[in-house]
């Protein structure tokens, strides 16, 4: 899995090592961190592109993020695509959750799913929420899910 920084620089280390280095660096500088993980997607013709982000928030001092983009030709219904987004976020959250526990970093999984039942993405809300909460992770949906609806949305091509 290839990850990069927001400025485009590739992350050469395995993502767990890069995240641990970032947590150490930021806590040594005295910052209290919170991490939000989210995925967004965009369909273009026969391709669907997913962008997963790991957003590091420095309490009161901005933040930064790591980004992973992935394309597929698999066709999804809206509900399926929303659940694939959630699965991608959970996959990375699960891979990193021991680090967050070790360094006492709060973590949330953000789903780009609308809480308003008038939106098609809302069909996936109950399943996504059950999936995330069932894994033991904190959950946010739109409009609070900025990692997926704002950050990942900006980097999905």
Q: What pLDDT, in 10s, does the model give residues 20-35?
A: 999 999 999 999 999 9
Tokens of 8: 């485009």
Provide the CATH number for the domain around residue 126: 3.30.420
Domain around 93: 3-155
Tokens of 142: 């739109």
Over range 96-121, report the average pLDDT.
Answer: 91
Q: What percentage of the chain reaches a pLDDT higher than 70?
A: 100
- Number of domains into which the chain is organized: 1
The mean of the pLDDT values for the chain is 94
Q: What is the pTM of this model?
A: 0.93
Q: Residue 119: its pLDDT value, please?
A: 80
The whole-angstrom distance between residue 39's C-alpha and the CA centroid of its chain comes to 5
């Amino acid at each position: 899995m290839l990850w990069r920084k927001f400025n485009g620089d590739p992350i050469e280390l395995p993502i767990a090592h890069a995240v641990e280095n970032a947590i150490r660096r930021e806590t040594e500088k005295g910052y209290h961190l919170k991490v939000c993980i989210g995925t967004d997607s965009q369909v273009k013709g026969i391709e669907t592109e997913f962008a997963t982000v790991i957003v590091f928030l420095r309490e009161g001092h901005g933040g930064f993020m790591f980004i992973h983009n992935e394309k597929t030709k698999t066709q999804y219904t809206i509900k399926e695509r929303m659940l694939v987004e959630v699965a991608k976020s959970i996959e990375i959250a699960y891979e990193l959750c021991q680090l967050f526990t070790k360094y006492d970093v709060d973590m949330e999984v953000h789903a780009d799913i609308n809480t308003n039942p008038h939106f098609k993405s809302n069909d996936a809300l109950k399943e996504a929420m059950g999936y995330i909460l069932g894994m033991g992770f904190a959950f946010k949906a739109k409009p609070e899910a900025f990692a997926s609806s704002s950050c990942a949305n900006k980097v999905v091509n």
